[in-house]
């Protein structure tokens, strides 16, 4: 196995997980809510690609975005808005419940067997031959990841609503006192989470064209773990954490000897525990974690 190839595969998977982590971290920053239902947005987007596979490509991509964003905002309105201010454990279980219910909806509508969603399957073709095999999708994942992350950073830094979002993430109550429109800010963070979910759905269906009811949940859980390991209270550290866990998973997959490969998950999560113990507040966070938190 080529070292450069290992690194490129790692970068591509890392970029994908980073995009999921951005959505999670934005919502967490504004609402202090770990949104397990984020994964269902990805699943919804992937299923929409299956349903619209007869339509022109551009239209089906647009529909995918519309479905993800619409569902994201709707979930916030119906389930999370009334729970603002409830205990963290309660809201966590509520997002669980929403994810559970949506998963059942996928099961009823599409069955347990996978549905093909291969509108972008051309991207699986190899772009560069030679000692390195580079597929189009890998390139697009890297480019899209960089563009979207850069775009989000610019948006947060330069625009008015971005500023309001950062203020709300830092201190929600004070931000409201100073006139930040809480509902708008929260809705907007869910819109961005929807956009990220749509992009992930588009790119992930290229690698894994069979959509099952747990399609998005699996990636979301890993990305969430990554975000927390990186430090979920700040956007860039959460994103870096998501990237790191994707990278680590991919590299471990290539590096581990064949006899150990089936224990890959165990190794990844052992790393997670070690990092958490050394830096409870996050690998990339500047804050030192303490066992007593005054929130």
Partner 1 sequence: MRRLRSLQTLLASILLLAIVALIGSGASAGTQQNFITALVSATIVYGLYVFVGNSGVISFGHISFAAIGAFAAGVMTIPTGPKHLVLPGLWSFLAQHSISNFASLVLAAALGAIVALIVGFPLMRLSGIAAGIGTFAVLEISHNVLQQWTKIGPGPTTLSLVPISTGIGQALVAAIVAAIVAFAYQSSRRGRLLRAAREDAAAARAIGVNITRERLIAFTLSGAIAGLGGALLVHQLGSITTEQVYLELTFLTLAMLVIGGSASLWGATVGALSVSLLSSFLSTAENSVHVVFFQLTLPNGASNLILGVLMATMLLFRPLGLTAGREFSLGFVGRLTARARARSHPQTPEDSESRSEKVQEVEPR
Residues that bind partner 1 (CB under 8 A): 34, 79, 82-83, 86-90, 92-94, 96-105, 107-108, 221, 224-225, 228-229, 232, 262-266, 268-270, 272-273, 276-277, 280-281, 289, 291-295
| 282 closest CA partner among 249, 221, 233 | 233
Compute the distance between CA of residue 123 and CA of residue 158 in angstroms, rounded to an integer.
34
Torsion over CA of 39, 151, 202 and 36, rounded to 10 degrees? 0
Q: Judged by CB, which is closer to partner 1: 93, or 210?
A: 93
Smallest gap from Cβ 262 to partner 1, in A, equals 4
Residue 226 beta carbon to partner 1: minimum distance, rounded to whole angstroms: 10
Pick the closer one to partner 1 by CB: 70 or 280: 280
Helix (H) or strand (E) holding 128: strand 126-128
Pull the structure tokens for residue 180. 């930040």
Q: Which is nearer to partner 1, 138 or 237 (CB)?
A: 237
- In the complex with partner 1, which residue's Cβ is closer, 173 or 262? 262
Shortest Cβ 252–partner 1 spacing (Å): 13
Query: How near is the Cβ of 241 to partner 1 at its closest, in Å?
Result: 10
| Shortest reach from residue 101's CB to partner 1, in Å | 3
Q: Which DSSP letter does residue 6 get?
A: H
Nearer to partner 1, 65 or 80 (CB): 80
DSSP string, 180-239: --HHHHHHHHHHHHHHHHHHHHHHHHHH--EE-TTHHHHHHHHHHHHHHHH-TTSHHHHH
């Amino acid at each position: 196995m080529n070292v450069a190839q290992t690194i490129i595969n790692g970068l591509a998977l890392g970029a994908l997980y980073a995009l999921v982590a951005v959505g999670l971290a934005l919502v967490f920053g504004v609402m202090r809510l770990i949104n397990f239902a984020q994964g269902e947005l990805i699943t919804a987007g992937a299923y929409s690609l299956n349903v619209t596979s007869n339509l022109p490509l551009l239209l089906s991509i647009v529909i995918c975005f519309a479905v993800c964003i619409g569902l994201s905002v709707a979930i916030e309105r119906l389930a999370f808005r009334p729970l603002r201010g409830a205990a963290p454990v309660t809201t966590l279980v509520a997002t669980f419940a929403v994810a559970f219910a949506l998963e059942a909806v996928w099961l009823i509508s599409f069955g347990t067997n996978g549905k093909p969603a291969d509108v972008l399957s051309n991207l699986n073709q190899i772009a560069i031959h030679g000692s390195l095999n580079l597929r189009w999708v890998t390139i697009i994942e890297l480019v899209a990841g960089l563009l979207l992350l850069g775009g989000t950073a610019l948006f947060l830094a330069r625009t008015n609503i971005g500023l309001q979002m950062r203020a709300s993430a830092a201190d929600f109550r004070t931000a409201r006192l100073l006139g930040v429109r809480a509902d708008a800010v929260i809705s907007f963070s869910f819109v961005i989470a929807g956009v990220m979910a749509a992009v992930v759905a588009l790119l992930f269906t290229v690698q894994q064209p069979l959509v099952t009811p747990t399609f998005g949940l699996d990636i979301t859980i890993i990305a969430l773990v990554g975000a927390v390991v990186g430090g979920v209270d700040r956007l860039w550290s959460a994103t870096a954490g998501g990237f790191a866990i994707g990278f680590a998973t991919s590299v471990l997959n290539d590096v581990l000897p064949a006899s150990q490969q089936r224990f890959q998950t165990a190794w990844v999560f052992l790393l997670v525990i070690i990092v958490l113990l050394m830096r409870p507040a996050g690998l990339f966070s500047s804050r030192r974690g303490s066992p007593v938190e005054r929130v």
